[in-house]
Structures are given as structure tokens and as C-alpha cells.
Structure 1
Amino acid sequence: MIRGIRGATTVTNNDAAEIVNATEELLWEMIRANDVKASDVVSVLISVTDDLTAAFPAQALRRIEGWTYVPVMCMREIPVPGSLPRCIRVMMTAETPKAQEEVVHIYLRNAVQLRPDLSLTRKSEL
């Protein structure tokens, strides 16, 4: 079955290293929590808020051994007034035997407030 795996994190500054490092941390958590293999991934979409312009967060995926051929695309998030600043969001689409309710979505740092319901579920599973 093809499933979407969501994740989000935030950074403190519009700094290239911080953006890429935070994205890599998020991706590793998503991979680990859902037992994802690169060969099972259809694509990865990464969005950033308008205040993050120092780096393409997709660079993080290229640091992960074996993920060279996974299609990845970066884009801007819709600039909704009052939305969470300095936020990186990921949508990973992958083949998995997991039922939809078994997929573990990962929210780190200030992004926990985006989906506190899913963040609480994750904490109880760790």
C-alpha cells in the first residue's frame, strides 16, 4: 500500500547549516519510526515557510546513504498570516505494509503544535 508520512520541524535562524541539519534529523526520525527503505519511497516533498531562504532542505536527503535516486522537491509553504514561522514540512510517499493509523508522523521542536494529537501518540510509542 502507498502511504503518506508527514513530518515537520522548526529552526531558530535562517541559516543554511541549521536548515539542512534540522531537515536531516526530521528525515531520520521519519525513516526510523516507519521502517522506511529508500527503494520503497515514491517521492519526498519538502516545503519551507517564506522566512527560510538560506538553503534547499532537500540537501539533507542527499546526505543519507542509499537515497541518491529518491525524487525530492522543495517548495514554499502558503504564507498564511499567523502561521508557524521558520517551519520545514515533509511529505514522504512510500510503499508500506502499515495501515494508515499505524503510520507514525513526526513533529519536532515547535512544530509539535501543528499536530499535538499525533505528537502525543508518538511520545507514547517511544
Structure 2
Amino acid sequence: MMGSTGAKCALLAAICGVCRSLQGGMLFPTESPSREVKDVSGLWRFRADLSPERNRGFEQQWYRSPLAQTGPVIDMPVPSSYNDITQDAKIRDFIGWVWYEKDVWVPARWIQDRGTRIVLRVGSAHYHSVLVSL
């Protein structure tokens, strides 16, 4: 009986230790002397491809011009699930390609030094995503 209680306490202590290490661990990129992080969350321009085939955005190359020039856009908070944000049933219940666009200023040194490695981390993207333009 005592051994079973001791094993349970050890297991509980191990679980607590893992949970505490995750709190201080790096689950997302963080600033450090060798890493600069730029958060691009906020309002993004958003457009769902409501065409019957759901591929008009690719066919008409919406990525070649500002998204607002391709048709109606709305401001969408990122991160979020667009299905939970809007009251428009066409978007709330939509399944298909959606387009996001945001203008971002990056430090000049990121561009000037050709050896700079820039990583775009996209959290919570769907199973298949395409980055068509930067």
C-alpha cells in the first residue's frame, strides 16, 4: 500500500515538473540576443473565395494586386477563427480557400544583410496553406 502511494506521489511530482517546465519553456519563438521576433497579429484584410469552384482567387491571381482591388474584403482579427468572428452565414459556415493580407514593416537590417534568415511562423493554419506572396 505504501509503495503504491509513493509511486502515485512520484508520478504526480513528475507531471507537475513537466507542467512547470512548459510554463517557462519555449513553445513559441521568443526574443533573445540571437533572435528578433516581430508579431504580426492584429487586423488583417480578409476575403473568402465564395466562387462555386472555390478557386477564383488562384485563377484571377488575387495575390498580384492589393486584396481590396479584387473584391470586397473585411477586417479580420488574427489570430482567430473566421468561422467564429462573423455573423454572415456565408462566411461563418464557409469551407474553402480564404485570403489574408497585411502590410508589415520589417527592420532594414533584415533586408540589407542577405545572410539573414527570416522565418515566418503561421500558427493554427488549416491542414493545407499556401503562401503566395511576401
RCO greater where, 1 or 2, for CA within 8 Å and sep 6 or more? 1
Q: TM (normalized to structure 2)?
A: 0.25
> Which one has a bigger Cα radius of gyration?
2
Q: TM (normalized to structure 1)?
A: 0.27
> Between Structure 1 and Structure 2, which shows a larger proportion of strand residues?
1
